[in-house]
Chain A
Amino acid sequence: MLKHRYGRRLALVGVGLVALAQGVAGAAPNKSPLGPPTQPIQATKGDEDPLRTYSGPFMAVDPSNSNNIVASTADFRSRKCLLLRSGDGGSTWKNLDAVPANASYPSCISNNSNVFQGPLAFGRNSTLYYGLAGWDIQDRAVGSGGNVNILVARSTDLGETWQTAIVRNVRGNEGEKVENNRPVGQIAVDSKSGKDDIVYISWQYSTPFVTAPNANPTRAVVATSVDGGRTFGDPVDIADPAWQNPANRQKAMQSYTATTLAPGVTTTTIARPEGSRVAQPDQAANFGGRNPAITVDNKGHAYALWFNTGANLAPAVLTGEFVSVTSDNGKTWQAYQAGPYGPYTNGIGRIAWSPGGGPQGTVHIVSQVNTTVTPQNTSGIASSATIAHKMSTDGGKTWSEPKILPDFDAKDMFVGVIPMISVAPNGRVDVAWWDTRSDPGIRGNDVYYTYSNDDGKTWSKNTRVTDRTIDRKYGVWGNNFDMSSPVGIASTNAYAVFGWDDTRNTDTSLAANSGFGGGTTDIYTSAVQFEVFGAGTSSAVKVALAAVVGVLVVGLILLGVSVSSKRRTGGTTEKTKVTSGKEPAKVK
């Protein structure tokens, strides 16, 4: 009876403790921000040069420690790509000395218009990957933008040192072989499927000296590494599968006449020399892609967003949205059309994947579109843009209707441009973009943000992330040098962090700063917080330690019970008790 009592008591205490622990630990994560965005921090603080000009950053958070945030940027003075790092959740930043570029390809800036400089992504064991263009004077000397190469740098110490692979090396090419590989679109890392990280990098390229009537269209390509970014395979044209299909080519060629044109769009007539590509427009070589962006799911698939282009086609085809999917580490791709051809697709977009929403998760596209696609506005006004979200729950085969994310009144015709998207580990989808609704007329813009907790079905009210409108009369944005950088964004369960290029520190009393392209451009960061954030070391280590403590406690209790039991039974061992339990059998 004594043993029964102990057993029941132990079991009851155990059940109670487990229930208590589960009840508290199982509380749902925060679904809405704890408050307004944090006070912006000058990430480039310490650089006192009045001519400093940084591009807007790409951002990523160390998956094993949310204190570590990294931000890539291009320094327009030196043309180098750099890495900024925070070890305290964005409160302070350090501009690291090491540069990701290979020494013989020191320059990375590519221009212009909505250019993405230096995409970042983390892989397993906090390995950081940095995609960038690489070139030197000799590469540009060949003319027309020159030979621009593609690099991927990897760091296992958060940017203190780099090992850089040359993904596409076109140095020395001349004439029709000159290859303008820019801009780098995006880098995505599959850290689950392979023995090592599978790294995808997307970019577009053009061949400026291959001209009409046999010009090449811009091509959208992806190169893949299956050894953690150490080596890469040849780039694969992700748009080509779409154009090998004659039906797709016909659909594209008919798009021009099948759609109402935007005001100001005119048609042209060109000569069609016999035997040229112009004379035979219906061929795959006349169709291409541009602005490719890429993401991965948790089942070994990669999804690449791109927009169609054409060459030697008169009239030119209109722009449509496509997504190509690979299941074999980028060797082959299947292309699906995600958005119709139309004059209002701006050809700028990003892609991300969230684990919820269906068995295959949800693929998200955010893209910049003319406001004429909105239900509120079909007027066909030029140069007015907004942000649309689409999603697919069947692996990119079919897509939802676009949903407009900026919540300003359409009749005010504010502008939303260059969206960026990021997904937190808990599935929260974060989207940020440049927005003019708070601009009182200074030719400025702000960062605005929205999030979805249900895989894109519904979206939060827009939040203004910047604390003051950025004056774009200074710096290199838009109408100055058209170096319009996207907003940097990265997501954790606890927060979404944002980074942007900001002219607020321009000394307006300096005559030089009021000149074309003058002024100072810093990087500022801010965060929208969803959960109280910790400061310590790895969470996994702490949980493991706690578990060890728990096991020790159990051991001590069992030891106590054992000692107590021995005393009550006068030192009889458990083995003896079991033996005595067999005594009735002997009687029998």
Chain B
Amino acid sequence: MRQVRRWAIGGVTTAAAGVFMAAAAWACVSGPVVNLSTINAKAGQEVGITGTGFQAANQVQIRWNALDGPVLTTVPAPITGGTLDAKFTVPAGTKAGSYVVIVNQTKADGSLSLSPIRAVMNVTGDAGSNPVLGAPAASTDTAARANGLARSDDSISFGTLALVALGVGGVGMFLAGMAALFAGRRGTSPAAAKARS
């Protein structure tokens, strides 16, 4: 089993290195990345947070559960090398449940300079509430979804085909009827002339 894992690790690393070496420096829109030292913690517990890709010139703010939630900690500028390494404490009294840690970067005037980064934090203990942002932590859609496309017996139903046939038949009969009518009139009008004489 260990060998399989080694091979797997080796394979992934090799593939990764190949792709990475071939990669050109195009812009990425994903922004910074953050990682929590643990995603399960109790209220009052200290949690480490690290991240990369931040703007060096602006301070980082870590907020609890909302874009304008309580500030857990602030890391002043400069953010050397764009790398974040900080700690925060889960607010005392927080009920158990899933929460979101929001990492913002702000300019000197307090305005945001970066799209906020989100990270899930599960507070353990008694039953708690779900995150206020986005979907629940499981993030699964509960809508009733059909298994495949709804189908008729055929791409054109029998009724439609019958209607087409009726339509064509109807046109034909109409034309035939009109032809018969026209022919009949041509045949009978001289008879009327005869009656007048």
Contact = CB atoms under 8 A, between A and B. Distances in A.
Interface of A: 3-4, 6-18, 20-22, 24-25, 34-39, 41, 50-51, 53, 65-66, 76-77, 88-91, 111-114, 140, 145, 263-264, 346-347, 368, 371, 379, 381-385, 411-415, 417, 436-444, 464, 466-469, 476-479, 481-484, 494-495, 510-513, 515-518, 526-527, 529, 532-537, 539, 542-543, 545-547, 549-551, 553-555, 557-558, 561, 574, 577-578, 580-585, 587
Contacts of B131: 440-441
Interface in B93-131: 98, 100-101, 107, 111-116, 118-121, 131
Contacts of B116: 413
Nearest to B187: A581
Nearest to A578: B187
Interface of A is mostly: mixed
Contact of A534 (B12, B20, B154, B169): B154
A218 to B, nearest CB: 11
Nearest to B190: A584
A549 B145 CA distance: 40
A437 B146 CA distance: 24
Nearest to B179: A7
A381 B112 contact: yes
Interface in B53-84: 53, 55, 57, 67
A440 B29 contact: no
Contacts of B118: 439-441
Contacts of B13: 515
Contact of B156 (A10, A37, A477, A539): A539
A554 B176 contact: yes
A36 B19 CA distance: 37
B151 A534 contact: yes
A464 B148 CA distance: 17
B170 A17 contact: yes
B176 A10 contact: yes
Which residue, of B12, B120, B169, B191, has the highest number of chain A Cβ atoms within 10 A? B169
B47 to A, nearest CB: 13
Given A441-B101, A533-B150, A7 B19 contact: no
Instruction: List 6 A-B pairs, minimum CB-CB distance, nearest first.
Output: A534-B155, A17-B170, A14-B174, A550-B168, A10-B177, A554-B172
Nearest to A377: B112
A113 B27 CA distance: 7
Contacts of A535: 151-155
A295 to B, nearest CB: 24
Binding site of B, secondary structure by majority: helix, strand, loop or mixed?
Answer: mixed
A160 B129 CA distance: 53
Given A16-B170, A17-B167, A512-B9, A438 B134 contact: yes
Contacts of A584: 190-191, 193-194
B92 interface: no
A140 B197 CA distance: 104
A8 B173 CA distance: 10
A10 B19 contact: no
A571 B188 CA distance: 19
- Interface size class on chain B is 35 or more
Contacts of A12: 177
A22 B127 CA distance: 62
B133 to A, nearest CB: 7
A547 B170 CA distance: 11
B24 A14 contact: no
A541 to B, nearest CB: 10
Contacts, number: 362
B3 interface: no
B172 A551 contact: yes
13 contacts: A14-B172, A14-B176, A17-B170, A34-B150, A91-B147, A346-B29, A440-B135, A510-B8, A517-B15, A526-B145, A527-B149, A533-B151, A534-B157
A3 B189 CA distance: 13
B152 to A, nearest CB: 5
Nearest to B13: A515
A534 B191 CA distance: 58
B31 interface: yes
Nearest to B119: A441
Given A15-B174, A414-B134, 12 more contacts: A10-B177, A17-B169, A39-B145, A39-B147, A88-B148, A89-B151, A412-B67, A440-B120, A467-B145, A481-B20, A535-B155, A543-B156
B77 to A, nearest CB: 13
A440 B171 contact: no
Contact of B115 (A50, A368, A383, A510): A383
Contact of B190 (A14, A263, A477, A582): A582
B19 A581 contact: no
B132 to A, nearest CB: 10
A537 B168 CA distance: 21
Contacts of A9: 177
A53 B16 CA distance: 11
Given A412-B133, A440-B134, A534-B154, A90 B28 contact: no
**Interface-centre pick from B67, B101, B187, B188 (highest chain A CB count, 10 A):** B187
Contacts of A555: 172
Given A51-B12, A547-B165, A542 B172 contact: no
B28 A478 contact: yes
A438 B139 contact: yes
B91 interface: no
A533 B112 contact: no
Contact of A511 (B9, B107, B164): B9
B51 to A, nearest CB: 11
A131 B46 CA distance: 53
A477 B26 CA distance: 14
A554 B173 contact: yes
B15 to A, nearest CB: 7
Nearest to B120: A441
Contacts of A582: 190
Given A440-B118, A464-B141, A534-B154, A39 B146 contact: yes
